[in-house]
Amino acid sequence: MAALNTDVQDRIVWRTRSGNEVDYCASVVWDDLRQGQAEVPWANVVWFPQSVPHHSFLMWLSVQKKLKTQDIMSRWSSSGKTNFNLMCCSLCTTGLDSHEHLFFECPYATQVWNGIKDKADIGAIPNIWERIYDHLLQFAKFGRAKHIIGKILVGAAAYFVWEERNQRLFSTKKRSADQLVEVILTTVRMKLHTMKFKRTSQANNVLQEWRLPRGLLMDEDDGG
């Protein structure tokens, strides 16, 4: 009959699906229980350490085209008689309220996009979501400041265009395209204020362009 060994410290173990016993840890258990999937190509476009969480959530919906635009909602109407405000874009009141129109074919959204795309270093990319998305995919895993800022800016632009579109549908408040550009740039500038930059000439240019203090450059001791 086995006796308890009081000399050995108790420990919590987890028996994995393959039968191995490992020290208990929430991340190990999660990895063991979940059904693993191949990483989706847009993972690093949507989720990255410097991303703004509520912008990432909107990007997550956007890259899958899951935003509830009126063209999509009309397909849910079984009778087909629901009046979705005549399917009209609330930003320009002329185009169809659809994903493609909002990002960024709509004249209002185009004006917003034109106000920020140079700062995202994607001035030459057409105002077409697929082209913008394809471009972001190319450098999704890159760590240079301009690539990270590009992703933050596109996420902020999509978020605030969508927010303005909703606001106009459900209230009488309106912001001009120039005002929205300012909101986007101010939001991104505040985000950049929370980041640290490696000491490179490129980082110096970024700080100047965004009028950020040089204190955001990492000291040599920080590994920069």
Query: Which residue's CB is nearer to Zn ion, number 56 or number 90?
Result: 90
Query: Which residue's CB is nearer to Zn ion, number 58 or number 105?
Result: 105
Determine the Cα–Cα distance for residues 222 and 224; give it in Å rounded to an integer.
6
* Burial of 30 (C-beta count, 10 Å sphere; 0-12/13-18/19+): exposed
Our measurement of the distance from residue 221's CA atom to the centroid of its chain's CA atoms, rounded to an integer in Å, reads 31
Residue window 137-156: x/- pattern of binding to Zn ion, with contact defined by CB under 5 A: --------------------
Could you say whether residue 177 binds Zn ion (CB under 5 A)?
no
Determine the Cα–Cα distance for residues 37 and 53; give it in Å rounded to an integer.
22
Asked if 189 contacts 208 with a C-beta cutoff of 8 angstroms, the reply is no
Query: Which residue's CB is nearer to Zn ion, number 112 or number 207?
Result: 112
Could you say whether residue 112 binds Zn ion (CB under 5 A)?
no
Query: Which residue's CB is nearer to Zn ion, number 30 or number 170?
Result: 170
Closest separation between CB of residue 129 and Zn ion, Å?
Answer: 14
Closest separation between CB of residue 184 and Zn ion, Å?
Answer: 17
Residue window 66-105: x/- pattern of binding to Zn ion, with contact defined by CB under 5 A: -----------------------x-xx--x----------
Summarize as ranges the residues that interact with Zn ion (CB under 5 A). Answer: 89, 91-92, 95, 106
